[in-house]
Structures are given as structure tokens and as C-alpha cells.
Structure 1
């Protein structure tokens, strides 16, 4: 009997197939988000991209953690699609990507868990479930410390002549970005968060520059001060981080944690492997 664990965003889904002997295999499919897809559309993705990677033996349990899986009304769309393509399922458990991040980073211990990727979020976790969270307001009204926020700050500094000359010249040479192109991507095209997050490689390539260090550290301090420090558990529980931004910019993130008087926990680039550990222990 096989177990499936999924960590899904809108762009891609990272699956782990766990065999009876506890060996694992990675499978990757397109992203699944019930806010944007029907049960039928999700089932089509699963049929075409997931099933060819599965063994003939039955998969009996699926634990799915995904963006957009925020409650029973939308979670059932994913659960129904899984049951449609995997008729032998006995257990289907669909939860938010935030809970997946928490279980991966903190395991069975209480902690504050943050997602720092294209967007940002934070919660308090008791070792099993989320007990307290923040109300995310998305890219334009929130997402401090995220890849979208970092890219937006960098681009704003460029157009408002806040970058040092060497950094400004390097940015201009690489992107040749004009104001009209910027505004079209910011206000007319979909997914402005992804567009601005696309500038974060420039920050990672110039991570030794004092201005970049300050930009990163200030953004992370703002995120921690705005959200994490407001939790009563702050300063008592360790603060864990999951996501590409946290992984790539681990050093300035650690400095921000120290500056805000918090206790540094784990940093995970992605939660899939640790979610396998979590569910193997529960089994």
C-alpha cells in the first residue's frame, strides 16, 4: 500500500510517493489551485501527469497541502479529483500550504512558521495544527519580505534614483527596463507578484553589496515586526522559515531575526522531504 504526499502551488506540485518499505520517489506535475481550477480540470492534470508515475499497486492515502486550499468548500474540489483518478483511496486529507510548511519545519514541536517565497505568510503552530495566523492581504497590501516585495523595492529604488551608481548601472545593463514596461507589468498584466519576484536573482548575485544587504535585512525586519512580533508566542517559540527567498537569503534573514529579538529556527527551501518524515512518524 502506497502513500502520496503533495506540496502544491499554483505553478507546480511536488509529490512524494512513499512505498511500503519507506523508500520514496519524487513526481512533479503542474500546479493545482482550487481557486482557479474545477474538479474536472484538476483531475485532468492528475490523469495526464501523476498517474503515469504511480505503481500498479494501490495508493491508499493522500496528504495534499496546497495554495488555495483554505477551507472545506475549496478543499473538496481537490479531494474529489483525487478520488476520481485514484479509486482505491481510503484516506484523502487536503490542507493549506501553510499547514504543510508548519508540519515540515516544526515537525511535532510548537513554533512560529513563516513562508517566504513569491509571497509571505506566518502562523503559530502547536505541533499538529495552526493555532493562530495572519490575514494575508496579498501583493499590493502586504507580502512584506517576499520575493515580490523585494523585487518591487529594488525596482522602485532604481526608478527613484536610490541605488548607488554601480548597482544602478548593473541593473540598467541587465534589464534595460523602461517606465512604460514596468507599469504595464505592474498594473495591466496578471500576476504582478511573479513579475517583481523575477528580479530577486539580481539581489542574490549582488548579495555582497552593502545596499543589497540593507534592502534585504530591512525587508525581513519589516516582515518580522509587522507580523511575527505581534504573536504572543514571539520570543518564546523558535521561528522557522520555508521558501526559496528564505533559503537564498538565509544570512540577512538570520540577522533580521537577531535584530528583532527572536529565536532562529530551521530554514527549508521546500517542505516535501520533511513532510514525508512527519507522516512516516504518524504512521
Structure 2
């Protein structure tokens, strides 16, 4: 049996494929080696996976994860999986390669991820050839939920939101200044917290401030990421991630401003990755 996972910062999507080709999908929390120790990852896998998966029957594991771009971080994840899946051949790759394989298969193109965080690459149909550096939620992640959240929460705390929007957010979330600062500076996963307001944006998309918050964040992504690729006007441009998926019309609008056409947007790579590994 094959176990495939695509993990972002907030959640991970999983697909189990048995020897008859039958598929079972499920979702867990995000597993990122930048935020979890090896032992913490082992504990999550033990608690969430082992109750309903016979680990001895898993032959291959393909884990594509945010934070799995360096050899050291990949080795951390491999050690965690080996502790649980004793008989499996384990492959740890970046979520960016997973997105590229899901969006392009064996063909070339520019792959973009817009979710809790953001990333991009030029993929030649086999491997990632060029990756504009992603600086994370503090310095980068343009176009992502965390980037929008950072700008939105700053304006909320400073009282710079339109009055009706300020009051609506206060009523819906009831956060104090201390609650917010604690979540950002003291509690685990500040990026998840900052990215947790996308539903509020979607519910208030008719508000000019929200519209500009999202489109300006997308513009920064195109300027700092997409436009940096020399082949951007020669190969297809495709996106994955919840932010790209739910704000698709706005993303197309911004891409048109740069005279670029997005040929495909998917919410999650997991189904396409299952097909990829069935054929490769």
C-alpha cells in the first residue's frame, strides 16, 4: 500500500492507496519540521494515524511538506516516519515539489502555492530548477493568508479599518489587544493565527478595504515571486492552495494586470498526487 501526504503549515491532506487501487482520504494537522520536533511529529503520527492504519502494510510513503526544503529538515521527518512505519520506503520532499507534480505532472511550468504561507518555483517536468526564496510569514509570504492577516490585524489594532468593518470584526471575534499580541508573539503557530481570518474576508468581500487587502497582497506576490521567473511568459502558470482557490476571481484579475494568464487553480494537490504516483 502507498501512503501520500501533502502538508502545509495549518493542515495536511492524506491519501491511502491499497493494492487494488482503492483510495481513502483524510486530514490531519500540518506537520512542519520548523515548528515540530521529531518526537512531537512521532506523537502526532502515533495518535492520529496508527489507530486506523496497519503500519506494517504500508510499502511506500511519499510525504510532501512545508519546511522540507533542506536535507536536515527532511532527515528529521524521515526519522519520525521510520519510527512508526518500520517496513516502508520513505520519501520526504518539499510541498513545492508536490504542488508542481500535481499541477504539471511531467510537463514544465511555474508552480505557485497560496495558503497559510506562499511559495513558487519553475518546474521542468522532473525537478524544481528555480525557486525564488520564500522568507516566511515575518518577511515574506506575500499573497498568503498569513500576509493578509498581518496587514489586517495591524490596521485593526491601530483603529485604521473602516468603522463598520472594525466593529464587525470586534463583534465576530471578540479579541482583545492582549489576546492578539499573545497569539502572535508568545503562542505556537503565529502564522496559523494570522491566516485564520480568510473566512471573514470572504464574508466581507464587497467592502473596498477587504477587496484591496486581498488584491494588494496578490500584487506583491506577483512582483516579488512570479515576475522573477525568466520563463514566466513562455510556460503555463498554475496555482494551488486554499487562498488561491477561494479568491480565484481576484487572483485572475490581478494576473491580468500583469498580462499573465493562470491556466489552472486547485484547492489541494492530494488527488492529483495520487494519480501521479499511480503512474510513476
Consecutive unaligned residues in structure 1, runs of 5 or more: none
Q: Closer, same or farther in 2 for the Cα pair 1:41/1:165, shift >3 Å?
A: closer
Q: 2-side partners of 1:11 and 1:203: how far apart?
A: 18
The answer for the alignment partner of 2:60 in structure 1 is 61
The answer for the alignment partner of 1:3 in structure 2 is 2
Shift of residue 36 of structure 1?
A: 4.2
Cα deviation digits, residues 15-34 of structure 1 (max 9, x gap)? 21112222211144444333
- After superposing the two structures, state which structure 1 stretch, 68-77 or 214-223, moved more: 68-77
Cα deviation digits, residues 164-205 of structure 1 (max 9, x gap)? 343333233323455444444333444332222222221100
The answer for the alignment partner of 2:24 in structure 1 is 25
Alignment of 1:114-263 (within 5 A): 114-160=112-158, 162-263=160-261
Q: 2-side partners of 1:27 and 1:142: how far apart?
A: 30
**Is contact 2:114–2:239 with CA below 8 Å preserved after alignment?**
yes
Q: Closer, same or farther in 2 for the Cα pair 1:172/1:107, shift >3 Å?
A: same
Consecutive unaligned residues in structure 2, runs of 5 or more: none
Q: 2-side partners of 1:116 and 1:190: how far apart?
A: 21
**Is contact 1:238–1:262 with CA below 8 Å preserved after alignment?**
no
Secondary structure of residue in 1 paired with 2:59: strand
Secondary structure of residue in 2 paired with 1:150: helix
Q: Closer, same or farther in 2 for the Cα pair 1:188/1:279, shift >3 Å?
A: same
Secondary structure of residue in 1 paired with 2:119: strand
Shift of residue 251 of structure 1?
A: 0.9
Secondary structure of residue in 1 paired with 2:51: helix
Secondary structure of residue in 1 paired with 2:49: helix
TM-score by length of 1: 0.88
Q: Closer, same or farther in 2 for the Cα pair 1:198/1:56, shift >3 Å?
A: closer
Q: 1-side partners of 2:114 and 2:158: how far apart?
A: 26
The answer for the alignment partner of 1:86 in structure 2 is 85
Q: 1-side partners of 2:217 and 2:47: how far apart?
A: 41
**Is contact 1:119–1:147 with CA below 8 Å preserved after alignment?**
yes
TM-score by length of 2: 0.89
Q: 1-side partners of 2:67 and 2:242: how far apart?
A: 19
Q: 1-side partners of 2:50 and 2:197: how far apart?
A: 35
Q: Closer, same or farther in 2 for the Cα pair 1:29/1:258, shift >3 Å?
A: same
Structure 1 residue 48 corresponds to structure 2 residue 47: yes
Q: 2-side partners of 1:17 and 1:66: how far apart?
A: 17
- After superposing the two structures, state which structure 1 stretch, 221-230 or 210-219, moved more: 210-219
Cα deviation digits, residues 138-165 of structure 1 (max 9, x gap)? 2221111111111222233344554334
